[in-house]
Each structure stands twice: as structure tokens, then as C-alpha cells.
Structure 1
């Protein structure tokens, strides 16, 4: 039986980051990464449309944690140990410079995820980390050391780090070791909506809206994108992340209310009454207001019971109220969800009470460490899920290498 000082199961972001850092902290250790695929780092490859959204330009731990629907409380301490600035420095020291985009997302200046993959492979080789591709983990047994049954026979190790992401088979193995798993549900997704107000205007962006899920306390704000299948962009994706469990229970069939102009109904009515006098001779259809995209404004005007010839002067109270309602309280029926690009993020995983977040070691088993999405931690889109991976992997690496 082959023996390693440390085995990292999972050749993804957290797995590679941990293995490399363990090797740097303690070069004497014999380390292997077990990866079930023919190659690793697949999520890194497709992240950010192939550019790899490495992290997010948020440098205050208490602000950074607000982007984690699950894990907010637990990550505060770890982020004081290793967070965004440390990630940037880590990559820079290895020749990978990052850039910040307007929305705060950070990418390699090469705009290619291959830069990150090449960096990891080069560092792993440099530090003599063995990468065992095509090795599927079948079971874990604990004697004095960890015995792993794989598709290529048995191997053993003193210290074991699991960084296998949302892998239900590994979660089942962990249940046999006494760990509790929160049932997985999708976390980042867009809403499927068929509605006459939006079917003809895919590609239109309302830059700052407020969205509520009716009959719940879920709400979010931000840009909203109208798509061929419904709605997307941060306002929707934040809702999908923070509402992952609630929306799964609703079987992804629910109603949302959108305030397109971030004004109250009453304030909107006052503004519309003023516009009725100021623009009396003009048509409502052609005089876009509230900095809305023209095509969206026109659809909301038509949905208020007017036509493209209706003049402001001719609006009665009912029509003004109908328009104010479309602008501030527009209700849409959501019927299903779609995956957001390749950002397949899952809420669910190992119960956070069973992990020591000072070391990312299992509270149930000594020398068993856990990092990345295997834990019940997930984030909104924008580089936050990777930052969780880097932080957990780094802290676990430090503890393992001692």
C-alpha cells in the first residue's frame, strides 16, 4: 500500500491551492492530489467565461462576509487570516498579476483562466506534489492513519484534506464517518419568466431595481437583465443565492414584485402628475422617464392600458395609477430556473458546526481537513466562491504542515 504524509482529495481550486501551500510550508512532506478526472481545475477553466474570476476587490472582512448566504458568520475569523489582499499577493509573487474591473471582480491581466491553471501546475511540479489523475475515491477508513480505497487500489496517509466541491458521493462517505450533510440545492440561477412585457426586449438592462419575492421576506437590489428566457443579472442572482433553500421549497414557482425606479408608489404618482402638465402635448410612449431604457418604458406604458398615441394630457387617474404600479410594483410569475453560465454553485454540504474554522479541521476526526464547496458555504457571483476556496485551503495548509 502506498503511503503519503498528506493526501488532498479533489484537484480543483481549493485542492491545488492547499497542496501547493502545504509543500511550501513543509518541503519534507510527501503530498499527493487525488483527482477523479483526466485533468483537474475544470471549474477554474470555465469560471468568468474562461477568464477566471479569481477574487473580488473587497478588502474589509466584515464587508466581504456579507456576500455569503451560508458561511457569513464562520468566515469572519478566517478572512482576518487570509483574504483578498493576500490572494492578490500570492498570485503576484508567482508571476500572475490581477486587475480589478468596474464591478469589483478581479481577473488575471491575461484575461485567461489558463494563466491560473499554468501557475498551479508549475507550482505543483516545482514542489514535487504528485497528481494522481483518474483516481476515484470509493471509501475512507480510519485506523491510526487514513486508509483510502480508490479506483486504483488502496493508499494511506497521516493527514487527509477533502476539497471535492459539491460531490454527493463524497458527502455520502463523510456521512459514514459521522458528519452531517445539509441537503444540496442550486444556489446561483436565473429566473424563467414568460410575460408579454419582456418577451420582445431581451438584452435590455434596468440599471438599479428592487426585487421582492412575494409571500417571503426575500428581496435584493441592483442591475436587472431581461433575457430570452426571463430575467438575470445581480438583482436576480443575489435573490437566487440568498433564497436558495426557500425557492427550492417553492419548486421554483413563485411571484416577484419589481420596483423599476426605486421610488414609492405615492412619490411616483406625484412625479407622473407633474409630467402630465409638463409634457401635456407629447405622447407617453415616446417620452421615456426615470432613466429607464426606452424599450422597457414603452412596454410598461402599453401594459398600463395605453397605446402609442396616448398623450400625457389625456391620462385619467386610473391610467396614472396603472403606470405607477407598473413602474414601482410590477408583478411577474416565475416558472422555473436556468443555470447561470457555467457558475454551477450549490448550497449544501458539511454542517458548519462540525468544522473548526481556526484550522478547517473536522471537529469529529483529528487530521481530517475540509475546504471549499464541500462545506455548506456558498456565495453570490463575482469571485467570492473562489475567495472562500483560497482562504480555507490556505488555513488548512498551514495547520496540516505543522
Structure 2
């Protein structure tokens, strides 16, 4: 159940492994593979270049330990081979993200649709399974609803739940009724809202490498940072939000974000560097000559916030103002007052507890024949193709296991 990445991969794996089976894919909406189509700005970040499970699991705030063995069975190299064997080669970008060479997510969507068609998967759109009822002799009765439903009930041997993450806890109640525990869902992968940002006049300014930290917490991440109309974004912020998803939720997204724009420096080495810079560049105006490769607009704003005048030269800069500049470079304080979901790519932290799942087969330990895959599980990765890889892996393992049904 679920017409997304995990659902499709599971259905295809099941049908290909046992062509005699009738495999049905149920999707409650009229659209298939919606997240695949919008991911990566419409390019689809299929996976990440990681040769080993040990490399992959480092990028999962939830589920890292439990995913190690599944990744041995079907990891990123297997994903690359799967798509390439179906005529869709992937390319690797410098940061490790992997995309189709066409740079079009539609290539991935069409590949999955064609693979499902070839395998004989039957797709039922606008069909919702309201309840899953285990039968005494094995198998399940699905209670269906929707405008295209031909019968209110459907008897099946096995079920794969690949319905994705849900933002509200109540949306998991139908699975709780089967006895499964659910880790409460909270958002992951979001940007920080800073309505009173001292950088609010700099939307679009980006820095290739900065360190973002939550004051008073052991939460920090280093990487590209983007200043936006509403606050800050970029990979460093998104990844920090993933690692800190539960703690930031507890804080009600009210905290102070500290940005270090020059992470290679300590306070002492930065002060020494500025002192050495002053000598040969004493006649240069401070605000007009950015250092450390920082964008001109950002440098000017930080210098002005430090109280440095528009005409002040380095050889005229008082020690007090230099100290303020050092503080701004190392610890620009931004009062976080809420969050914004990253584009349309909603990701949840939370879902079905992994302790209740056989991670070799993705089968429930509580309800035989019931399998789970994708974001409905308490698994989530940072940006970079990791959430899709978890979907491909768990879907594949679930589908292969389900193919052994009678």
C-alpha cells in the first residue's frame, strides 16, 4: 500500500521474484511517485555514492544501527545497478549525491512505472485501505474505500505498508490497532525561521562552508548555508534539523542559532590573522574588502553590526570593534522562532518502532505476513539521497520476502 518509492520498489521486487503471484499496489490519491517527481528540485536525488553499509549508516539520525544489515543485502551500489540495468544510468556530483544523467526526476518515475508494468503489478488508484484485519488461517482482509473501489473488501496473503511518513500521530492509529508501537512523529529536514534576523536584508547570500550550532545544546553541523527571506537554510541547516529533530521539537523551535562563518579558525587564530592582515592592508577600508572568501554583502553586514563605520580603515580600527567583528564571524546569533518545511519534501522523524520489525525481511514480529518499508518506519536520513536509499532497500527486502507467499 502506497504508490511512492518504497511501495513501487516492493511491488516490483515481489512480482519479479515470483511472477505467479498477483501483486496489487494501492494508492489512496490519483497520483503516483509524487515525492520522486519533486525531489532534488525535479532532478531526483536517487541515492548517495557510498560503497559500504558503514559509510551509508553515518547519515541516518534514526535507524542507523538497524539498517546496517539491510544495506549489506541491498545498498547504494545495488541501487545504481538496478537503475542502470533498466536503462537509467546515474551520475555522481562532487558532494556524493547521485542523479539520473538526464537530470530529470521523470526519468526515474517512468523507469519505475515501466518496471512495474513489465512485472505485471496491478495499480489501483484512489483506493484506501481503511483497516487491515488478520485472518485466523493466515492472510488479511483489507477494508477498502475510495471512488474507484470495485469491492469493499479484499483478501490478500501478505501486505506491505509503504504509506510514507505522517505529520500527525493519529494518522498511525490504524497501525496501532494491529498492536504496533509508534515513535511519535515530529518534523525533520526543515529550515529555521528568524523573523528578527540581522541578515534579513541578504536573501540569496550563501556561504560554501559554515558551522551552525544550537546554543546550549550538543547540536552542530558544518556545510553550506543559505540566507533566506525567512531565516537560514542550506544543507548545514537541514542536516542539523534532522539530527536535532526531537530536541528542537521539545524546544518548540524556539532557540538561538549560532553561525560560525570561518570554521577553520579559533578565536585566537582569527585574532592573530586579523592582526597580521592589518599591516600590509592598513589603508584598505574594512567594510569594502571582505576576507575569507565571504560574500561582499555578508561581510559588510557583519562589519556594520560590529559598529565599524563605512570609511574606517584597518589601521584605524579600534581593538573593541575588531573584537566585535571576531564575535560576529565566529558566533552570529540568530533567534530561531519556528521552522519551515523544506520545499515540498516532507520528512518525518518517527514511525513504526524498528524493534518490532525483522530487518532482514521487513516483516512485523507481531503480525506474520505484515511488512513495512520506507518512511512509515522510524527511519530517516539527512539530505543527499539517503531517504530514497532507505526506501529502495526496505522496499526491495520486503518485496523479496513477500514473494515467498503461497
| TM-score calculated relative to the size of structure 2 | 0.94
Distance in 2 (alpha carbons) for counterparts of 1:64 and 1:377 = 13
Match of 2:205 in 1: 204
Aligned with 2:98: secondary structure? strand
After superposition, the CA RMSD in angstroms is 1.3
Residue 32 to residue 76, structure 1, CA distance change in 2 (3 Å): same
For residue 59 of structure 1, the aligned residue among 40, 46, 51 is 51
Shift of 1:279: 1.6
C-alpha separation in 2, matches of 1:30 and 1:196: 56
Instruction: Tell me if structure 2 keeps the 8 A contact 1:178–1:364.
Output: yes
**Counterpart contact for 1:22–1:397, Cα < 8 Å:** yes
Q: Which residue in the other structure is 1:111 paired with? A: 103
How do 1:13-24 and structure 2 match up within 5 A? 13-24=5-16
1: distance between equivalents of 2:387 and 2:49? 13
CA distance in 1, matches of 2:331, 2:369: 54
Matched residue pairs, number?
394
State the shift of 1:276 in Å: 2.3
1:199 deviates by 1.7
Q: Name the residue aligned to 1:394.
A: 396
Q: Deviations for 1:159-182, whole angstroms, at most 9, x for unmatched residues?
A: 111111114566211101110011
**Whole-Å separation in 2 of the counterparts to 1:374 and 1:311:** 58
Flag structure 2 segments of 5+ consecutive residues without an equivalent. none
Question: Following the alignment from structure 1 to structure 2, what is the Cα–Cα distance between the partners of residues 149 and 202?
Answer: 50
1:287 — aligned with what?
289
Select the residue among 299, 302, 311 that pairs with 1:300: 302
- Is the 8 Å Cα contact of residues 198 and 334 (structure 2) preserved in structure 1? no
Aligned to 2:351, the other structure's residue is in SS state strand
Partner Cα distance (2:117, 2:5) in 1: 16
Instruction: Measure the CA separation in 1 of the matches of 2:58 and 2:34.
Output: 27
2: CA distance, partners of 1:330 / 1:122: 50
- The more displaced of 236-245 and 159-168 is 159-168
Does residue 230 in structure 1 map to residue 262 in structure 2? no
The match for 2:255 is 254
Are 1:133 and 2:135 matched, yes or no? no
- Residue 160 of structure 2 is matched in structure 1 by 161
Shift of 1:372: 0.2
Matched, 1:274 2:276: yes
Q: Structure 1 residues 339-348 or 169-178, which shifts more?
A: 169-178
Displacement of 1:196: 5.7
Q: Within 1, Cα distance between the matches of 2:71 and 2:165?
A: 22
- Give the aligned partner of residue 149 of structure 1: 143
Maintained 8 Å contact 1:253/1:336 = yes
1:118-174 per-position Cα deviation (integer Å, ceiling 9, x unaligned): 122222222211111111111111112211100131001111111111145662111
**Normalised TM-score (structure 1):** 0.95
Report how far residue 226 of structure 1 moved.
0.8
Query: 8 Å contact 1:276–1:315 — kept in the other structure?
Result: no
Alignment of 1:323-402 (within 5 A): 323-402=325-404
Distance (Å, rounded) in 1 between the aligned partners of 2:132 and 2:52: 38
| Partner Cα distance (1:37, 1:107) in 2 | 26
Q: Is the 8 A contact 1:164 1:170 kept in 2?
A: no
Instruction: Give me the whole-angstrom Cα distance separating, in 1, the residues matched to 2:197 and 2:35.
Output: 36
Q: Which residue of 1 aligns with 2:26?
A: 34
2:87 pairs, out of 95, 114, 118, with: 95
Partner of residue 78, structure 1: 70
- CA offset digits 1:53-109 (Å, max 9, x no partner): 111112221111111110111111111111111001111111111112222221112
Cα distance in 2, alignment partners of residues 282 and 43 from structure 1 = 51
Alpha-carbon distance between aligned partners in 1 of 2:100 and 2:316, rounded to the nearest angstrom? 56
Instruction: Quote the residue 1:6 is aligned against.
Output: none
**Which residue number in structure 2 is paired with residue 3 of structure 1?**
none
Once residues 275 and 102 of structure 2 are traced to their aligned partners in structure 1, the CA distance between those partners, rounded to angstroms, is: 52
Q: Does the Cα contact within 8 Å between 1:255 and 1:334 map onto a contact in 2?
A: yes
Deviations 1:244-293 (A, max 9, x none): 11111111111011111011112111111222222212111122112211
In structure 2, C-alpha distance between the alignment counterparts of 1:272 and 1:116, rounded to whole Å: 50
Structure 1 segments unaligned to the other structure (5+ residues):
1-8
Deviation readout 1:332-387 (Å, 9 max, x if unpaired): 11111112112111111001111111111111111111000000111111111000
Cα 1:170/1:22, change in 2 over 3 Å: farther
